Structure 1
Amino acid sequence: LLGNWHVPAKSSLFRARQRLGAEPLQVLFAATAKPMADESTPGAFWRGLRLLAVDGTCWDVADTEANQAAFGRPGNGRGTKRSAFVQVRMAALVEVGSHA
């Protein structure tokens, strides 16, 4: 509780995200996805080159036909050769100096 404000329930956030669609995130990404560090940022450059790192992760998502068609299921070593969950794979390119 922060004053009169309460942390919204997860279900409220999911409903709001469905109601708004992808456009707000696309606008946010377009406004903020750019190099953040400059030559004076500690650890951001080496010999004049911007230092970057690649990282990735997977998320289990709702088991729906639409998600399966869009993202698929990763393989496994068991009999079905398919994971029990639909997964989204993400790879990120991150500035080392600014962590952006």
Structure 2
Amino acid sequence: MLAHWLIDVDDFASPDSLSLFQKELPLEWIQQALDDTNKASLRRRKLPAELVVWLVVGIGLYRDRPITDVLDKLDLKLSNSLGESIAPSAIPQARKRLTAKPLEALFSLTAQHWTQTEDSDDTWFGLRLFSVDGTQFRTHDTPALAEHFQYVKHGKTRHTEYPVVRLCALCSLRSRLIHNVAFGPSYNGEESYAKQLISSATANSLTIFDRCYLGAELMINWQNQH
């Protein structure tokens, strides 16, 4: 089910204009995520950190477009204060310098705001409603990714064509907004990633699982937490 929801997001998350999305993701949130992870630009770079964050978000939404098209969608220009052009080849270095931490912080910040806005009144007998589900993603078939995420084996000599990331998400039951995710190598099962989400569901809540999560340790610990 989660995989189908994510496909729906992919189908509808590439509008002709990102102006509406930009209104829902204020620059103040990006700056807060950078400050919280000590990644704010201390000196004026050709590609400041806040611009790199927007680029990464845009690249995620328009994965099938070249970076120049993404820049047009975001109404951004690769030029410095003097009007000098910046080569697109500078972007990979800027992304590496940024690291994943600000994006993780921004995800948590947006999840907190959006779920509170959309789901605060979505209750059942006073209980907030959640669901837990998982899915898998293919990665590029590189030695580093294969070593970290590994393949899903179908026998002693057969496995998936690409390395696989296993992901588990805690979602609002009705709106399907994601509160938190846990992911990692494919050799760990979904239940192991669900355990990492125990503290993310609020008190006085009801969480729906499918049968693949039916394990005494997970169920008891989840109930004790909430």
State TM-score, norm by structure 2: 0.33
Matches within 5 A, 1:41-80: 44-77=122-155, 80=157
The count of residues paired between Structure 1 and Structure 2 equals: 91
Is 1:87 the counterpart of 2:144? The answer is no
Regions of 4+ moved over 6 Å = 10-14
Structure 1: segments with no counterpart, 5+ residues = none
Given candidates 31, 35, 59, the residue that maps to 2:109 is 31
Which residue identity does 1:24 align to in structure 2? P
Q: Contact between 1:45 and 1:97, CA under 8 Å: does it hold in 2?
A: no
Higher RCO (CA < 8 A, seq sep 6+) = 1
SS in 2 for 1:58: strand
Distance 1:66 1:84, change over 3 A: same
CA RMSD of aligned residues (A): 3.1
Which residue identity does 2:158 align to in structure 1? K
CA distance in 2, matches of 1:32, 1:63: 31
SS in 1 for 2:158: coil
The superposition leaves residues 30-76 of structure 1 with CA deviations (integer Å, 9 ceiling, x where unpaired) of: 312335221x3xxx211221111122221111111221122111111
State TM-score, norm by structure 1: 0.66
1:9 maps to 66
User: Normalized per residue, which structure has more strand?
Assistant: 1
SS in 2 for 1:33: helix
Structure 2: segments with no counterpart, 5+ residues = 1-15, 18-61, 71-90, 178-226
CA distance in 1, matches of 2:69, 2:142: 20
